[in-house]
């Protein structure tokens, strides 16, 4: 069914059959059902420099993403769509996949307004659940087999990882300790200056590395495997 047809089905379930779903739950179910009906599209990547942006998601914006966002699963022909969703109270809005990816997969959401070489990318994220929850920021994205990323996971000496993806697989570029627990909100910031990459958590520098193969590219968000993660802020400041 199309999204509109599923919407009619849910309306009948609530109004005729007595299903006890709140408006927020109806939206979550609708996003989940619609996520199985998303054809893989031909992507025209915008290669001009990205303009700055600062977003704080609002409940009234709940629903499908604008066309400037591209959701994909690297190295596959499948797509796990993302959507602007709300929590159970309906007062908090955030970006999140409509359904989790499979174990061992990464679910990417790329900001396709242009490329970033030097600048600062910031998001605020919450690891809601998952067997080994992890989520973060993608940068230097060129293809689904060539990009860099920084991920926040469970607290510990390797809770923060900086990595590179290329056709041969994944390479670890750096790691640092984190203390954030599942359920905590964390501000994650990435500053790019030439080949120098600095990662900050809650405004405090946590990791700095020289990344020789970095050449700029698109930026975006990532979740790992069955992780449920919420992102309620997104900003890109370019230099």
> pLDDT of 139-187, one tens digit each?
999 999 999 999 999 888 989 999 999 998 899 999 999 988 888 999 9
Tell me, what's the pLDDT at 63? 87
Q: For 23-61, how does the pLDDT look when each residue is reduced to its tens digit (9 = 90+)?
A: 878 888 887 787 676 555 578 899 999 999 999 999 998
Strand pairing partners for 222?
108, 136
Burial of residue 44 (CB within 10 Å: 0-12, 13-18, 19+) is: exposed
Reduce the DSSP state of residue 184 to 3 states and report it: coil
Cβ atoms of 236 and 53 closer than 8 Å: yes
Element (H, E) at 208: strand 204-210
pTM score, whole prediction: 0.82
């Amino acid at each position: 069914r199309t999204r509109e047809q599923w919407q009619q089905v849910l309306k009948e379930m609530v109004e005729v059959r007595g299903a006890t779903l709140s408006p927020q739950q109806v939206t979550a179910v609708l996003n989940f059902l619609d996520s199985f009906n998303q054809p893989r599209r031909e992507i025209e990547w915008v290669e001009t420099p990205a303009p700055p942006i600062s977003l704080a998601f609002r409940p009234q914006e709940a629903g499908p993403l604008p066309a400037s966002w591209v959701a994909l699963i690297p190295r596959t022909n499948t797509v796990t769509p993302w959507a602007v969703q709300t929590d159970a109270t309906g007062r908090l809005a955030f970006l999140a996949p409509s359904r989790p990816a499979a174990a061992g997969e990464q679910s990417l959401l790329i900001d396709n307004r242009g490329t970033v070489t030097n600048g600062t990318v910031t998001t605020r994220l919450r690891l809601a659940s998952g067997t080994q929850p992890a989520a973060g920021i993608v940068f230097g994205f060129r293809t689904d087999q060539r990009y860099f990323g920084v991920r926040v996971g469970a607290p510990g000496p390797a809770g923060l990882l900086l990595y590179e993806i290329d056709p041969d697989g994944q390479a670890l570029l750096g790691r640092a300790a984190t203390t954030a627990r599942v359920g905590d909100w964390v501000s994650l910031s990435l500053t790019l200056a030439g080949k120098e990459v600095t990662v900050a958590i809650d405004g405090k520098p946590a990791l700095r590395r020289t990344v020789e193969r970095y050449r700029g590219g698109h930026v975006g968000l990532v979740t790992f495997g069955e992780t449920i993660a919420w992102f309620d802020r997104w900003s890109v400041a370019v230099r």
